[in-house]
Amino acid sequence: MTATESTTMKSSATRQDEFSADSTSSGEPTVTTTEVSIEPGHAVAQRSRRRVLVLGCSAFILCALLAIGAVLFGKVRAMETTDTSRSEAVAAARDLLPKVLSYSYDTLDASLTGATDALTGDFKSDFQQLVDSAVRPSAADRKIVTTTAVQDASVVDADQAHATVLAFINQSTTAADQQTPKIDGARLRIGLEKVDGRWLISSIDPV
């Protein structure tokens, strides 16, 4: 064996020893694993259902609050409207009654025109018939002058289109055949209706 062959064999032996040492020291190959936590499907579904339930309850509560608010707002508006109707009806009764129940023999046509303009419904035609059949002949013959004043008035009931008012009136009547004025008091129940934005008298009844 030559020196060269001896050197080559030693080198091969050295490499084999190194490979053997490496294999022995390292043992089996090391495998690193990473654990992945997978949540069960039923837990995810439960959480989803809870979220849907919470959202549904929140929406229901919101709708309920809105509905309650709308009802309360409607009641407040209705109360405001009723209060307005009550005050308007009383003011109308105070303004219209003297026009309807006052007249003078020398201005009878003008007085009656103002009276009928304050009336509505069947009461308007009934009033006109009464004036033509009874008031007109007597007023002209006796020279009657009747003045009506409203002493007090209060509303009995009212809504947006109808109202009932209780009124206390005094009437002073003079005539050619009586020396002193005649004073009469009366308590009247007045029915009113709102027509084209105006309160008009639809009935007058003694109480």
Residue 179 confidence (pLDDT): 86
**Confidence band of 193 (pLDDT split at 50, 70, 90):** very high
- Structurally, how many domains does the chain consist of? 1
Residue 82 confidence (pLDDT): 76
163 occurs within a structural domain = yes
pLDDT tens digits, 63-85: 666 666 655 555 545 455 578 99
Domain containing 117 — which CATH number? Answer: 3.10.450.230
Residue 10 confidence (pLDDT): 46
Backbone angles phi, psi at 35, to 5 degrees: -75, 135
Instruction: Say if residues 159 and 85 touch (Cβ distance below 8 Å).
Output: yes
Q: Give Cα 161 to chain centroid, integer Å.
A: 17
Q: Please state, for a pLDDT cut of 70, what percent of the chain lies above it.
A: 61
For the full predicted model, state whether its pTM sits above 0.75.
Answer: no
Assigned token pair, 131: 């004036």
pLDDT of residue 93 exceeding 60, the answer is yes
For residues 177 and 187, give the distance between their C-alpha atoms in angstroms, rounded to a whole number: 27
State whether the Cα torsion 13-18-21-26 is positive or negative: negative
Residue 136 confidence (pLDDT): 92
Q: What is the mean pLDDT of residues 53-67?
A: 66
H/E run at residue 200: strand 198-206
Task: Tell me which residue range forms the domain holding 178.
Answer: 85-206
Residue 49 confidence (pLDDT): 66
153 occurs within a structural domain = yes
13 occurs within a structural domain = no
pLDDT tens digits, 146-181: 999 999 999 999 999 999 999 999 999 999 999 899
22 occurs within a structural domain = no
pLDDT tens digits, 20-38: 444 444 455 554 554 545 5
For residues 128 and 135, give the distance between their C-alpha atoms in angstroms, rounded to a whole number: 10
For residues 9 and 128, give the distance between their C-alpha atoms in angstroms, rounded to a whole number: 149
36 occurs within a structural domain = no
pLDDT tens digits, 99-150: 999 999 999 999 889 999 999 999 999 999 999 999 999 999 999 999 999 9
